[in-house]
Structure 1
């Protein structure tokens, strides 16, 4: 991944764009809010705070990773435990969190969050902006998906009315994004910090590729740089495996 893209991820929490759902999984939302809402915030184990960094783990002269527990207190893994912002501000953290959400079938919440960021960057004068707004609404809000279940009725009504009246505004999804982010911070993020995926990643110093989706690099680059081009009534269901993954 190029340095400009990595800087792009770290410098702003609001300049990413979404990966659409895998074809055939549209509408699936088995992870209901109640499943996560019962989770109480937890303090990550001390081992997590002392673990080696992720894929950027420090090396000694023999090319071996640092011994477990020798990482700097300000290592990437330590920063992940500070906030959801810090987690998603690191490319490996964002990738591992996405892998966790995919397993829990809650990845739509993260996709929607990124979709809101991507939409906010679009030119309102561009004719495709309205089509993308409709696609986001249809994919995440109009149906009974996990995203729709976590939004307040007034928020969904506001977005629906804007779509119907064609009042497209860069900030039209902001309130919905805030509600989804709050839910992730209080629930999914807390679960992630005690999940076997995360703890195993810490134990291995971030060097176990089996813990990360094999398409993760493609997914992350797409998340950070692209929104699909849509025809007038085209559903948002393209396969991002076929997209170019060069940095913007």
Structure 2
């Protein structure tokens, strides 16, 4: 097993799951939703995306999921500005790959954010991950190594 698998297994053990987080690993091949629906899947997919230099996609998607749970306006404004400056604005440190129109719409409305401010961008990034990254993830050494390790237990 490579360095990534060891680090992943260590990280997986630190999580407080009711069962071993890798028990669901076979279901990850059913859909990208199965991967994104559990912490262990998110961590493995994130490790894979790092190898493809596209980790910002899952980080943005996760930030949007947290953003939708916000209950107060001040928290929403603060979080929206953080997401915007980290992922959306041109030359952002973790700039996501979205079309100009979507980026412009977010920029135009960022001064008055709401819980759906990032929905169109999040859908684009989800689609990119599902269509492009996810099939490669299933063939990757990271996923295949976890599958083998799970089978040998």
Shorter-normalised TM range: 0.7 to 0.9
Output the aligned Cα RMSD.
2.4
**2:86–2:95 contact (8 Å) kept in structure 1:** no
Q: Does 1:155 align with 2:102?
A: yes
Give 2:5's aligned residue.
none
Give 1:55's aligned residue.
22
In 2, Cα distance between equivalents of 1:85 and 1:2: 21
TM-score normalised by length of structure 2: 0.78
**1:54–1:206 contact (8 Å) kept in structure 2:** no
> Which is further off, 151-160 or 83-92?
83-92
Bigger fraction of residues in helix: 2
For CA contacts below 8 A with separation 6 or more, give which structure has more relative contact order.
Answer: 1
Of structures 1 and 2, the larger Rg is shown by: 1
In 1, Cα distance between equivalents of 2:151 and 2:142: 11
Deviation at 1:124, TM superposition (A): 3.9
Unpaired runs of 5+ in structure 2?
1-14
Deviation at 1:132, TM superposition (A): 1.6
Unpaired runs of 5+ in structure 1?
7-52, 57-75, 208-248
Give 2:27's aligned residue.
79
Question: Among residues 118, 140, 144, which one is paired with 1:195 in the alignment?
Answer: 140
CA distances 1:69-112 after superposition (whole Å, capped 9, x unpaired): xxxxxxx2331111100112233222211111122221110000
CA distances 1:155-192 after superposition (whole Å, capped 9, x unpaired): 111110112xx221110100100000000000111110
In 1, Cα distance between equivalents of 2:72 and 2:100: 26
SS at match of 1:205: helix
Q: Does 1:107 align with 2:52?
A: no
In 2, Cα distance between equivalents of 1:169 and 1:152: 21
CA distances 1:41-60 after superposition (whole Å, capped 9, x unpaired): xxxxxxxxxxxx9634xxxx
